[in-house]
Copies of this chain bind each other. A is one copy, B any other.
Amino acid sequence: MSTRTPTSGVFDTETRPATGPRVRNRVEVGDDAPVSISDRSTANRSALNAPSKSGSLGRQVARHLRSRIMQGEVSPGARLPSETEIAVDYGVSRVTVRTAITLLESQGLVDVRHGSGTFVSDFGTEIKAGIQELRSITETIREMGFTPSMERHKGETRAASEHESKRLDLMPGEQVLDLQRAVYADGEVVAYSFDVIPTKTLDAQMLERMGQGSVFEVFETIGITPARAMAELHAVSSQEIAWGPQKPEQGLFLLLDQVHFDKDGKPFMYSKSYFVEGRFQFVILRTR
Contact = CB atoms under 8 A, between A and B. Distances in A.
A14 interface: no
Given A123-B228, A123-B230, A252-B235, A286 B265 contact: no
A131 interface: yes
A229 B132 contact: no
14 contacts: A56-B114, A99-B102, A108-B228, A123-B228, A123-B230, A131-B131, A131-B233, A133-B286, A134-B286, A232-B282, A234-B282, A235-B255, A235-B277, A258-B286
A5 interface: no
A102 B209 CA distance: 37
Given A235-B253, A237-B237, A254-B235, A132 B230 contact: no
Residue of A107, A233, A278, A283 with most partner-chain B CB within 10 A: A233
Interface in A238-254: 250, 252-254
Residue of A107, A284, A285 with most partner-chain B CB within 10 A: A284
A269 B285 CA distance: 15
Interface in A98-123: 98-99, 102-103, 106-108, 114, 122-123
Interface of A: 55-56, 95, 98-99, 102-103, 106-108, 114, 122-123, 126, 131-134, 226-237, 250, 252-255, 258, 265, 277-278, 281-288
Contacts of A282: 232-234
A259 to B, nearest CB: 9
Contacts of A108: 228
Given A228-B286, A232-B282, 8 more contacts: A98-B99, A106-B106, A123-B230, A134-B286, A229-B286, A230-B283, A233-B282, A234-B282
A107 B123 CA distance: 19
A161 to B, nearest CB: 20
Contacts of A123: 228, 230
Contacts of A286: 131-134, 228-231, 258
B233 A288 contact: no
A284 B131 contact: yes
What 6 A-B pairs have minimum CB-CB distances, sorted nearest first? A235-B235, A106-B106, A233-B282, A134-B286, A229-B286, A235-B254
B254 A234 contact: yes
Contacts of A250: 237
Contacts of A258: 286
Given A102-B99, A103-B102, A235-B277, A227 B283 contact: no
